[in-house]
């Protein structure tokens, strides 16, 4: 999760509940059926387990490495036939 956060530069908030899509679908159905007045109420039903913050040093390294990868790919692309 840290690598994704560092590469994208976007913090991630991880919920304690790990059911994923079915849990989210249930919340959206509750909003759609009027059980919740809006999606903001979902926050009262979920608990945050962890927030992952981008590491600026790692982000810089990933960006520099990606640029090297792109340069290398461009110079060797013709070999990949």
Could you tell me the pLDDT band of residue 53, with boundaries at 50, 70 and 90?
very high
**51 with 12: CB under 8 angstroms?**
yes
Instruction: Give me the residue spans of the domains in the chain.
Output: 2-80
26-48: pLDDT as tens digits: 888 998 999 988 878 887 888 88
* pTM of the predicted model as reported, rounded to 2 decimal places: 0.62
Q: What is the DSSP letter of 34?
A: T
Which residues are CB-neighbours of 4 under 8 A, at least 6 positions away? Answer: 12
From its phi and psi, is residue 34 left (phi > 0), alpha (psi between -120 and 50) or beta?
left
Which residues are CB-neighbours of 53 under 8 A, at least 6 positions away? Answer: 5, 11
């Amino acid at each position: 999760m840290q690598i994704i956060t560092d590469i994208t530069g976007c913090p991630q908030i991880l919920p304690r509940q790990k059911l994923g899509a079915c849990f989210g679908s249930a919340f959206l159905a509750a909003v759609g059926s009027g059980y919740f007045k809006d999606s903001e109420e979902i926050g009262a039903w979920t608990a945050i387990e962890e927030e992952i913050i981008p590491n600026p040093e790692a982000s810089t390294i990933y960006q520099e490495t990606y640029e090297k990868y792109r340069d290398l790919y461009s110079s060797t692309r013709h070999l990949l036939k």
